Structure 1
Amino acid sequence: MRDQAFHAFFEKHHAALSGLAFLLSGDRTVADDLAADALTEVWKHWDRVVASGDPAAYAKGIVANLTRNWIRRQGRARRGLTLIGLGGDRAPSPDVPAVLDVRTALNRLPYRRRACVVLRYAFDLSEREVADVLGISVGAVKSQTSRGAKQLADLLKDLKTEVAR
């Protein structure tokens, strides 16, 4: 029974969890790994997940936490490479078509704002659900979503202006 319930959960939510990880991380390959890691954690703690009352929100919270940790590790790795003289001053050449993509602008948002915007608008979660997934207050969700949406709009406007030049 437990195996069947988890299997049904996996089939129903794997794609959405991978999509969430992609929108938060900006890396499709990493997103699949993060979704798999999250589902492994869900499986290990299946009884607790089911007892939470909303297994999908629980799993999204795991994805959000795993992605935040992955982003932190990437930053530390880049700083480490810079300290030893590798990967320093080279800026990637701009990819004009990618600049127009919303994902590019999303990646420029601070993690919490990005998470709030993605969960509210891409996954259509309520403010309460986003607060539960991220482990923050509803007020923080409201302010981060509002600021994130404005910052995203400004970034997209700036990118559009840059491309038009």
Structure 2
Amino acid sequence: MDSQDEETFRAFVTARWQALVRVAFLLVGDHGYAEDLVQTALARTHRHWRRIERKDAPEVYVRRVLINLANSHWRRRLRLREVFATPERAAADPTLAHDQRDELWTALSTLPPRTRAVLVLRYFEDLTEAQIADALGCSVGTVKSTASRGLARLRETYAPALPEVNGGVSA
């Protein structure tokens, strides 16, 4: 790789690091492991940077590598029969929003890896169904049905406490 390629790769990493770590965290649920996944994905991307950059698709490529690495992570965990748990908080946070986010994360962590990937890419990364289908190597219909089933399952398992208004009728 020549110096021009190195410089564009460095600029890409600097610009997209936080977003990539966020996606990886949402996929695996562990910040430290998410950073490791991003580093591994970027190392794999670095080897093919010239080809990837020419296609104007470096973020799509890195995101796909992240999804593949996260799926491998979940397959290994399932093989070992580990149960996913969110990290314990040092002190309880009294805010309702924080508690609801924890509940949502717990519910999201119970979903299968592919379903979680679809929901993360659609609702946290705001990708279109076509972009998600490209990233996951499946059809748009599969993305739609997976998202629908995943949202239905989240609705079943995640029910945040709604404030009572009008004499006990919830909003």
Q: TM-score range by the shorter chain?
A: 0.7 to 0.9
Aligned pair 1:53/2:56, yes or no?
yes
Higher relative contact order (CA 8 A, sep 6+): 1
The one-character-per-residue Cα deviations of 1:77-97 (angstroms, maximum 9, x if unpaired) are: 237xxxxxxx9xxx99x9995
Structure 1 stretches of 5 or more lacking a match? 80-86
Structure-2 separation of matches of 1:102 and 1:121: 13
Structure-2 separation of matches of 1:119 and 1:104: 18
Runs of at least 4 residues of structure 1 off by over 2 A? 94-101
The one-character-per-residue Cα deviations of 1:2-58 (angstroms, maximum 9, x if unpaired) are: 011000110111111111111011111110100110011111111222233321111
| TM norm structure 1 | 0.80
Who is 1:155 aligned against? 157
The structure that is helix-richer by fraction is 1
Percent of aligned pairs with the same amino acid:
38
Who is 1:114 aligned against? 116
3-state SS of paired residue (1:125): coil
| TM norm structure 2 | 0.78
- Tell me how far 1:75 sits from its aligned partner: 1.6
Structure-2 separation of matches of 1:48 and 1:145: 32
| Rg larger in structure | 2
For residues 118 and 57 of structure 1, do their structure 2 counterparts lie closer, same or farther at Cα, with a shift above 3 Å needed? same
Task: State the Cα RMSD in Å.
Answer: 2.6
For residues 43 and 100 of structure 1, do their structure 2 counterparts lie closer, same or farther at Cα, with a shift above 3 Å needed? closer
Who is 2:12 aligned against? 9
